[in-house]
């Protein structure tokens, strides 16, 4: 996702723990390819970091066909897949169980919960 790409995202349902916010700004972090900050438009003091799965976890291939349809995509290959990153002391983990899916044409987004697929909630980044 280049700096010129879509930065306004609208979630079809609030992110867990961030209700009632559904409108967010996605901005690249300078000097870190594939790293973005995600902030609710109405509460910019709240910030999550997300990473582009294709950059940081190239082998990640969850079954996301059903949630992609909820954001207007006809195939999973059309989705931009972002992972919520959490820094905890000296390590950083990513949530592979609940990727953020983005329809880059419309900005429609969804955090998909992938129960039963065996993806971890906290996978070490770079493992």
The second-level CATH assignment, the architecture, of 8-122 is: Roll (2.30)
pLDDT given at position 47: 96
Cα-Cα end-to-end distance for the chain: 23
Q: Which residues contact 110 (CB under 8 A, 6 or more apart)?
A: 11, 12, 13, 67, 70, 71, 100, 101
By the 8 A CB rule, do 101 and 109 touch? yes
pLDDT on residue 32: 92
Q: Is the pTM of this model over 0.85?
A: yes
Partnered with residue 85 across adjacent β-strands are 49, 94
Mean predicted lDDT score pLDDT of the chain: 92
For residue 6, give every residue at least 6 positions away whose Cβ sits within 8 Å of its Cβ, in sequence order, or none. Answer: 26, 102, 104, 107
What's residue 126's pLDDT? 72
Instruction: Kindly state the average pLDDT of the residues 76-88.
Output: 95
Check residue 88 and give its pLDDT.
Answer: 83
Q: 10-62, pLDDT tens digit by residue?
A: 999 999 999 999 999 999 999 999 999 999 999 999 999 999 999 999 899 99
């Amino acid at each position: 996702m280049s700096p010129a790409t879509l930065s306004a995202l609208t979630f079809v349902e609030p992110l867990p723990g961030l209700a009632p916010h559904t409108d967010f700004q996605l901005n690249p972090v300078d000097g870190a390819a594939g790293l973005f900050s995600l902030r609710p438009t109405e509460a910019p003091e709240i910030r999550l970091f997300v990473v582009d799965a294709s950059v940081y976890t190239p082998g990640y291939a969850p079954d996301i066909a059903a949630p992609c349809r909820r954001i207007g995509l006809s195939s999973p290959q059309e989705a931009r897949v972002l992972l919520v990153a959490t820094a905890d002391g000296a390590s950083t983990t990513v949530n592979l169980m609940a990727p953020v899916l983005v329809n880059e044409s419309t900005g429609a987004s969804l955090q998909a919960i992938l129960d039963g697929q065996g993806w971890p909630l906290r996978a070490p980044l770079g493992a």
